[in-house]
């Protein structure tokens, strides 16, 4: 945690007297505190956690390097006292997270302090994962991989999507996950045309695409995995589209290199789908970063111009979606290395379940 704090301090030295951290993932990254209620106040010399009675013991256990500021009345008054004591004149805050009403209340209570909006100061530190983070991510990825491979032998024709989604979640929770990373998606047939479909009671049929998007959460870190499968013999069109999507994914995974932009990596996969005539049916970016948040930087998409660096984790998830027919998406998590990418997701990719 000390190294992370020092990097943050260097990023605002000479510009801010302190920075206020309110995003829960950023609080955990910097301090270890998992409560999410309250705020971190960081100066060049001090690191404080402001929170209420519910979290006093938790802060002591999880953030021993931080000083606890007990909020016993209004949080705005506790913050006012801290800023006065620390002589903070220029305070940075997380402009993309702090709610406007909260900002107004705190700013009013701390007249004499200039509130300066910041953007992605901690998120930029989180872009490159350290060895400890990678170890946690690999465990979370393995849990989802195992659940996905297990479900292939579980699904039967006539099962509702909701049953399959629940079985995936149970398997992850009973095999090491502290929870699921997000609401599990199981979308069969026409439902698969919705990239973020919600599982329904619709019964799964043979021969149709079944899109399954799942993830495990372990020690705060999230995995994200999608596979598309089929019960029995796939229809000819399904096999054709599946092969196109798989080819697109492999093109990106084999061609991605550090130094490329997210836009350039996206183009590797998109070119395959466009050439096959389905460009308009691939309407989202190729991927996103993943870690303490399911969706974080860096982004792989048509507007992503930042260079990719070793140590970054991204999903690579091309897809094709056809209204009233269904969809195909295949998603891996990859680690950017000094030479290319290492594919961390190991779940099987055969279209047929068995």
Token pair of 178 as six digits: 């502290």
| pLDDT-above-70 percentage for the chain | 100
Which whole number is the average pLDDT over 50-75? 95
pLDDT in tens, 189-248: 999 999 999 999 999 999 999 999 999 999 999 999 999 999 999 999 999 999 999 999
Would you tell me how many other CB atoms lie within 10 Å of the CB of residue 135? 12
User: How far apart are the C-alpha atoms of 62 and 55, rounded to whole Å?
Assistant: 10
135, pLDDT greater than 90: yes
Whole-structure pTM value: 0.96
For residue 108, the model assigns a pLDDT of 95
For residue 244, the model assigns a pLDDT of 98
Crossing angle of helices 2-12 and 24-31, in 10° steps, is 120
1, pLDDT greater than 90: no
31, pLDDT greater than 90: yes
129, pLDDT greater than 90: yes
pLDDT in tens, 237-285: 999 999 999 999 999 999 999 999 999 999 999 999 999 999 999 999 9
For residue 211, the model assigns a pLDDT of 98
Strands 39-43 and 18-21: antiparallel
Q: Which CATH architecture fits 131-343?
A: Alpha-Beta Complex (3.90)
For residue 36, the model assigns a pLDDT of 82
354, pLDDT greater than 90: no
Q: 298 and 312 in contact (C-beta within 8 Å)?
A: yes
Average pLDDT, the chain: 97
Q: Where are the domains of the chain?
A: 2-126, 131-343
Which whole number is the average pLDDT over 103-123? 96
For residue 329, the model assigns a pLDDT of 98
Which whole number is the average pLDDT over 68-87? 95
Which whole number is the average pLDDT over 96-103? 95
Which residue, 181, 215, 192, 22, is CA-closest to 102?
22
Question: 345-348: which pairs have CB atoms within 8 A and are 24 or more residues apart?
Answer: 345/141, 345/144, 345/145, 345/225, 346/141, 346/142, 346/145, 347/144, 347/145, 347/148, 347/149, 347/225, 347/227, 348/148, 348/149, 348/152, 348/227
73, pLDDT greater than 90: no
Which residue, 116, 83, 102, 85, is CA-closest to 23?
102
For residue 12, the model assigns a pLDDT of 97
How far, rounded to the nearest angstrom, does the alpha carbon of residue 301 sit from its chain's CA centroid?
15
Class (C level, CATH) for 2-126: alpha beta
User: How far apart are the C-alpha atoms of 130 and 122, rounded to whole Å?
Assistant: 14
139, pLDDT greater than 90: yes
């Amino acid at each position: 945690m000390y190294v992370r704090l020092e990097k943050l301090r260097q990023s605002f030295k000479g510009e801010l007297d302190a920075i206020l951290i309110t995003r829960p993932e950023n609080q955990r990254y910097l301090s270890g505190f998992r409560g999410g209620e309250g705020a971190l106040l960081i100066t060049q010399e001090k690191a404080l956690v402001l929170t209420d009675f519910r979290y006093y013991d938790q802060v002591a256990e999880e953030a021993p390097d931080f000083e606890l500021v007990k909020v016993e009345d209004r949080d705005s008054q506790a913050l006012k006292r801290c800023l006065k004591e620390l002589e903070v004149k220029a305070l940075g805050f997380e402009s993309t997270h702090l709610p406007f009403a909260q900002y107004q209340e705190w700013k009013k209570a701390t007249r004499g302090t200039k509130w300066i909006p910041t953007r992605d100061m901690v998120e930029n530190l989180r872009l490159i994962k350290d060895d400890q983070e990678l170890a946690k991510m690999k465990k979370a990825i393995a849990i989802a991989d195992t659940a996905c491979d297990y479900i292939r032998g579980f699904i039967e024709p006539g099962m509702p999507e909701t049953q399959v989604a629940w079985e995936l979640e149970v398997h992850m929770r009973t095999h090491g996950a502290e929870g699921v990373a997000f609401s599990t998606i199981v979308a069969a047939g026409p439902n698969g045309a919705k990239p973020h479909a919600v599982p329904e009671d619709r019964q799964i049929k043979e021969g149709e695409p079944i899109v399954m998007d799942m993830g495990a959460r372990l020690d705060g870190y999230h995995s994200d995995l999608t596979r598309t499968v089929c019960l029995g013999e796939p229809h000819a069109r399904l096999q054709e589209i599946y092969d196109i999507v798989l080819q697109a994914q492999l093109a990106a995974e084999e061609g991605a290199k550090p130094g490329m932009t997210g836009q350039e990596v996206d183009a590797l996969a998109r070119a395959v789908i466009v050439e096959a005539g389905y460009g308009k049916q691939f309407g989202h970016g190729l991927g996103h970063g993943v870690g303490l948040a399911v969706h974080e930087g860096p982004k792989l998409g048509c507007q992503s111009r930042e260079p990719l660096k070793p140590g970054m984790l991204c999903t690579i998830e091309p897809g094709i979606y056809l209204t009233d027919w269904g969809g195909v998406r295949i998603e891996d998590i990859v680690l950017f290395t000094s030479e290319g990418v290492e594919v961390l997701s190991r779940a099987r990719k055969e279209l047929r379940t068995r």
